[in-house]
Amino acid sequence: MFITPKASILESIASYTTQYKVQYLARLTWSLKCIRYILRQGLAFRGHDESRDSKNKGNFKELLQWLAGNFEEVNKVVLDNAPHNCQMIDHKIQKELITCCAIETTKFIIEELGDECFAILADESSDAYQQEQLALCLRFVNKSGEPVERFLGLVQVEDTASLTLKEAIQSLLLRHQLPLSKVRGQGYDGASNMKGHVNGLKKLIMEDSPLAYYVHCFAH
């Protein structure tokens, strides 16, 4: 045994580990603050050139760098003052943190909705790779009696046939324990696959929820 236990290797490692965890938590907190700001403003995260000499590294890195340049408590735990294998600025890390934010936000929306009925607003579009996707929003009255609209998610679809879109909507709703029987309204554009009276998405949804009345999305 050592005469001075605090000078032992185990004590040194434990102290270093505690300090590392504190710095890691601070680094994570500031990264999340940047991400929350960018998400709330609907801004892009990345820049075209994110190299060290770039004049514009993208909103995420530029915001984090601005904070580090103006606040010493931030500067001492991020970017060049962080371990090279734990700077938390990699694209994959950004995606993971964004996903975590999305999960927590969706959880809040479902809690806000509670057991109430709701309407759905949906539209299909193509992403940058020309792959079809469906965007779905919920419209409901919150506990304060105010009508609100909340974005629920995007679903990638093979095509824009009405049956495919209906299955995509149903799968997304069921993922959050929201049955089609609770739907009381539908809002789409005027395309035949959406509002068609025979085989349109509107008709297919009303087969499961007869009270899900259709209103053209412009009316919202």
Q: 110-151 pLDDT, tens per residue?
A: 988 888 889 888 887 776 667 788 888 999 988 888 899 999
Range list of H helices, the chain: 9-41, 59-70, 72-75, 91-113, 162-175, 192-195, 201-208
- Cα–Cα distance between 202 and 212 in angstroms, integer? 8
**pLDDT tops 80 at residue 6:** no
Distance of CA 26 to the CA centre of its chain: 22
What single-letter DSSP state applies at residue 55? S
| 151, two tokens | 């974005």
Q: Are 65 and 57 in contact (CB under 8 A)?
A: yes
Summarize pLDDT for 51-96 with one digit per residue, the tens. Answer: 777 788 888 888 999 999 899 999 888 888 888 888 888 888 888 8
Record the pTM.
Answer: 0.69
pLDDT above 70 covers a percentage of the chain that reads 85
With CA atoms as reference, report the closest residue to 58 among 68, 39, 69, 44: 44
Q: Domains of the chain, with CATH numbers?
A: 5-104 (no CATH), 114-219 (3.30.420.40)
How much is the pLDDT for 2?
43
